[in-house]
Amino acid sequence: MIRVGVVDTSFARVDMGRAAEEEIKRLTTKLKVVRRTVPGIKDLAVECKVLIEREGCEACMALGMPGRDEKDKLSALVASYGIMMAQLMTGKHILEVFVHEEEAESEAELVELCRMRAKEHARNLVRMLLHPEDMLRLAGTGQREGFPDVGSAKKLR
Amino acid sequence: MIRVGVVDTSFARVDMGRAAEEEIKRLTTKLKVVRRTVPGIKDLAVECKVLIEREGCEACMALGMPGRDEKDKLSALVASYGIMMAQLMTGKHILEVFVHEEEAESEAELVELCRMRAKEHARNLVRMLLHPEDMLRLAGTGQREGFPDVGSAKKLR
Amino acid sequence: MIRVGVVDTSFARVDMGRAAEEEIKRLTTKLKVVRRTVPGIKDLAVECKVLIEREGCEACMALGMPGRDEKDKLSALVASYGIMMAQLMTGKHILEVFVHEEEAESEAELVELCRMRAKEHARNLVRMLLHPEDMLRLAGTGQREGFPDVGSAKKLR
Amino acid sequence: MIRVGVVDTSFARVDMGRAAEEEIKRLTTKLKVVRRTVPGIKDLAVECKVLIEREGCEACMALGMPGRDEKDKLSALVASYGIMMAQLMTGKHILEVFVHEEEAESEAELVELCRMRAKEHARNLVRMLLHPEDMLRLAGTGQREGFPDVGSAKKLR
Amino acid sequence: MIRVGVVDTSFARVDMGRAAEEEIKRLTTKLKVVRRTVPGIKDLAVECKVLIEREGCEACMALGMPGRDEKDKLSALVASYGIMMAQLMTGKHILEVFVHEEEAESEAELVELCRMRAKEHARNLVRMLLHPEDMLRLAGTGQREGFPDVGSAKKLR
């Protein structure tokens, strides 16, 4: 079985890691999920790197929920930058699954958005590892994780 | 044959990778294109690095379409930073070909801009790998990929 | 005993390192705290890296207090970025514990906030090193260090 | 002869590389200039790194002209960050010579500014490689490349 | 004798390096100062790295004066980021001593501020290398280099 890491945070207000894990298990029996929880989004990158290098994970999902303030946006930038560096240092994909609090207008919407985005990225992870040819077919098709897809732009007839 | 990577995204609304591949094939038979599609622009850098290090690509094109929101701009910054680091870690060129949605005023314009920019950067890639002396001749000539070139600035007579 | 580093600054207006150290000692006898003080937040990252690589620390806390001005925010960004890189280079967690001056409305509040945040992150550190399974149970529960927890978002019934 | 790299772009509207090369040749016969042209400013860093590591250059000049838009400013930031990393990875100086389009009010002014800045940085390069003691004498003297020097600040008598 | 690097710029309008060197010599005979001057703040990081790796310096001071414009602030960010990376790559402290032009209201004030900040950071350097226990005593005491210290925040009695 191919091992994949799913790392989320205690800061987030929705259990995004569980949504991701459930979807991976629903889609395939070929991946084994390794779960970790860290305090905040800036702790995700190193945890993913450790899962790849010491736990043999082939890819990871890094799930988190940046806050609304200006300083939260800078935190998200640094967290995101760390996930980028962890990918380049390991040569493995780490899908960043962030939901900004202000993307949803109510708590109920937030729960739904977090779960949907986590699940759709779980599907991306499964595709990338097991069916990379399916990714090619989606090139330029305007996929949106957690929201309705926008589709390809139409050219003038 | 020299291998080159062409990586695009399922988030983009135009099939930029195909436009790039077609142009490369139209211009030369000396390059072999390796295609990959990843979910979003922050997944481009590690995929290009893998294509260079494990698939023997001599250079890559990383094509994507950042969204309009403030957080999309920060994503573009991180994606761009990752492409930069991937170049420095591998010592190979990765041409970043991004089209920001707001650069075009209609869907039809967006399609046209994406294809033109992808093609013109495909031409840059071919020049850099096969005819580097042609690049020298273009120094300071105000080339603009996807839009009309602006040309050299005129000095006072 | 597992060694952990606690690094704070002479720039901060509250002795955050002491609060962290006291809390670690109160919670467990299995961790040995190594203390360091540096001038400002941009000196934290390298000090933590040295504690991990040369003093055998398994994890660190980096405590500081960014100022109010625009240029202080850029300093915080660079400091934070450095802590991120130090984690990725060492493969160890470094918990960033920053209190922005404007988060509190009075000096007394500032003292209280700094101590509470330092203590709650000390608890995170102890959990991560000694009881990682406890972190998993906190996934998505809206923990806030130094402020009251906000809890999980409620879905519609 | 000591080899130095001069890398410019086809995006720029002034042939900055030529101005730099001419000035280096006018000032000394001890340096051999290696020229390269890349598409845009984000392609400069890796080209300079290659010139240092594979072509034996002792230092480089990276010349470019960032555009006016917000996204151009982020490109300049990434380009600049890449030049910084290339310096740290090679242990060699790479002088960044950027002229922002809005620094000049007319095309004629732009041409003049680009040439002057390129030449004055060429002088810096020559000094750093051949007469480092001359740099020490300029410490704190308010040098401005491409514009009149502002000089040292005056203390109260 | 322990070697320390002091690097400043020809862009700055005050001879900050000299102020730093004089203060180090006034405070101790155990440190040997190695001076370098580079053109601007983005050239400081690699010079410090070279001083550490090839000249055997145990620590460095990087002194500079960022300008007022938006693009100067981005330059300061990149310069600062480079100093951070140089520290992490070498495992040695490099104290960043920047004075932003707008921190002072007159040239005379600027001269005074630059000198004071350089001197107070020179004192930090001496403490860190020769009396690290003195740094611990300053934890959370609100030190401000170049301005009056603000002291510890007072808790409610």
Paired tokens of B119? 């093609």
Determine contact, residues B64/B121, Cβ cutoff 8 Å. no
Residue D49 and residue A3: Cα distance in Å, rounded?
Answer: 36
E runs forming strands in B41-129: 59-64, 94-98
Share of chain D above pLDDT 70, in %: 99
Give residue C32's pLDDT. Answer: 98
Inter-chain residue contact B132 with D108, CB threshold 8 Å: no
Distance from CA of A37 to the nearest CA of B (A): 22
Touching chains, D (3+ CB pairs < 8 A): B, E
pLDDT value for B157? 62
* Alpha helices, DSSP H, located in chain E: 16-27, 44-54, 70-90, 107-130, 132-137
C20-24 long-range contacts, Cβ below 8 Å, gap at least 24?
Answer: C20/C61, C20/C63, C20/C97, C20/C118, C20/C119, C20/C121, C20/C122, C21/C122, C22/C119, C23/C118, C23/C119, C23/C122, C23/C123, C24/C122, C24/C125, C24/C126
- E88-113 in b/e burial notation, b at 16+ Cβ within 10 A? bbbebbbbbbbbbbebbeebeebbbb
Beta-carbon neighbour count of residue B79 at 10 Å? Answer: 25
Dihedral (CA of C111, C114, C115, C116) sign: positive
A93 neighbourhood in chain B, CB within 8 Å: 38, 43, 46-47
How far apart CA A33 and CA A39 sit, in angstroms, is: 20
pLDDT tens digits along D132-151: 999 999 999 999 999 999 99
ipTM over 0.90: yes
Residues in chain C with CB shorter than 8 Å from the CB of E142 are 11-13
> What tokens does E6 get?
């002091």
Query: Which residue is associated with the tokens 């609090």?
Result: A101
E95 touches E6 (CB < 8 A) = no
pLDDT of residue D35: 98
Task: State residue E70's pLDDT score.
Answer: 85
Instruction: For chain C, 157 residues long, give each residue's pLDDT as a single digit of tens.
Output: 999 999 999 999 999 999 999 999 999 999 999 999 999 999 999 999 999 999 999 999 999 999 988 889 999 999 999 999 999 999 999 999 999 989 999 999 999 999 999 999 999 999 999 999 999 999 999 999 999 999 999 886 6
Burial D29-60 (b: 16+ CB within 10 A, else e): eebebebbbbbbbbbbbbbbbbbbeeeebbbb
CB contacts of C78 in chain E (<8 Å) are 77, 80-81, 84
Size of interface C-E (CB pairs under 8 A): 114
Tens of pLDDT, residues B24-41: 999 999 999 999 999 999
Kindly report the nearest CA distance between residue A92 and chain B, in angstroms: 7
Owner of token pair 């950071």: E121
Identity of the amino acid at A45 = A
pLDDT value of position C151 = 95
Structure tokens at E110: 């600027």
For residues B20 and B63, the answer to whether their CB atoms sit within 8 Å is yes
Interface of C with A in 57-76 (CB under 8 A): 73, 76
Name B51's Cβ contacts closer than 8 Å, sequence gap at least 6.
Answer: B5, B7, B34, B36, B57, B60
E83 touches chain D (CB under 8 A): no
pLDDT tens track for D28-48: 999 999 999 999 999 999 999
pTM for the structure as a whole: 0.97
Residue E14 confidence (pLDDT) above 90: yes
Token digits for D2?
Answer: 């000591």
Sign, Cα dihedral of E34, E35, E36, E42: positive
Q: Which of D85, D126, D135, D149 to mutate to test the interface with E (most CBs of E within 10 A)?
A: D135
| Closest by Cα among A4, A7, A15, A146 to A82 | A7
> Is B72:B18 a contact under the CB 8 Å cutoff?
no
CA gap B24, B32 in Å, rounded: 9
CA-based nearest residue to C108, from E142, E155, E140, E157? E155
Q: Which of E8, E47, E74 sits opposite D77 (nearest CB)?
A: E74
pLDDT of residue B128: 98
Judging contact as 3 or more Cβ pairs under 8 Å, the answer for A and D is no
Taking only the tens place, the pLDDT of each residue in B82-125 is 999 999 999 999 999 999 989 999 999 999 999 999 999 999 99
- Give dist(CA A1, CA A31) in Å, integer: 6
Question: What is the pLDDT averaged over residues B37-63?
Answer: 98
| Dihedral sign for Cα atoms in the order E69, E74, E78, E81 | positive
| DSSP assignment of E116-149 | HHHHHHHHHHHHHHH-HHHHHHTTTS---TTS--
Predicted confidence (pLDDT) at residue B80 exceeds the cutoff of 70: yes
Cβ-contact E41, E61 below 8 angstroms: no
What three-state secondary structure class fits E52? Answer: helix
Asked if pLDDT for residue B155 goes beyond 90, the answer is no
**pLDDT higher than threshold 80 for residue E156:** no
From A39's Cα to the closest Cα of chain B, the distance in A is 22
Q: Which CATH number fits domain C2-137: 3.90.180.10, 3.40.50.960, 3.40.50.300, 1.20.1250.20?
A: 3.40.50.960
| E46 vs D88, D138, D141: nearest CB | D88
pLDDT given for residue D157 in this prediction: 62
Q: Which residues of D touch B151 (CB under 8 A)?
A: 13
Chain centre to alpha carbon of residue B112 = 15
Chains that touch E (3 or more CB pairs under 8 A): C, D
Interface contact flag, D139 E86, Cβ < 8 Å: no
Lowest mean pLDDT among D94-98, E37-41, E87-91, E153-157: E153-157
Q: What is the mean pLDDT of residues D94-103?
A: 95
Query: Which of B49, B75, B77, B78 should one mutate to test binding to chain A, selecting the residue with the greatest count of A CBs within 10 A?
Result: B78
Interface test with E, best of C21, C43, C55 (most E CBs within 10 A): C43
Least confident interval from B3-7, D153-157, E86-90: D153-157
Per-position DSSP letters for A74-128, written without gaps between them? HHHHHHHHHHHHHHHHHTS-EEEEE--GGG-SSHHHHHHHHHHHHHHHHHHHHHH
- Any CB–CB contact under 8 A between C93 and chain A? yes
Of A11, A117, A17, nearest to C153 (Cα)? A11
pLDDT in tens, A7-62: 999 999 999 999 999 999 999 999 999 999 999 999 999 999 999 999 999 999 99
Note whether A11 contacts C: Cβ–Cβ < 8 A.
yes
Question: Is E12 close to D156, i.e. CB distance below 8 A?
Answer: no
Residues with Cβ within 8 Å of B37's Cβ and at least 6 positions away in sequence, in order, are A135, A136, A137, A138, A139, B7, B8, B9, B10, B17
With CA atoms as reference, the chain D residue closest to E36 would be D136
Task: Report the alpha-carbon angle D90-D92-D95, nearest 5.
Answer: 125
Q: Do C39 and E124 touch (CB under 8 A)?
A: yes
Residue A79, CB-side half-sphere exposure with 13 Å CA sphere: 28
Rounded to a whole number of angstroms, the distance from the CA of A49 to the nearest CA of chain C is 7
Q: Both tokens of residue A156?
A: 């003038």
Q: Which of E17, E108, E110 is the closest to D139 by Cβ?
A: E17
More confident site: A68 or C123: C123
| % of chain A beyond a pLDDT of 90 | 92
Residue A40, SS3? coil
Q: What is the pLDDT of residue E157?
A: 63
Residue B140 pLDDT exceeds 70: yes
What distance in Å separates the CA atoms of residue E16 and residue E7, rounded to the nearest whole number?
A: 9
pLDDT digits (tens, 9 = 90+) for E57-98: 999 999 999 988 888 999 999 999 999 999 999 999 999 999
The torsion defined by the Cα of C85, C90, C93 and C94, in degrees rounded to 10, comes to: -60
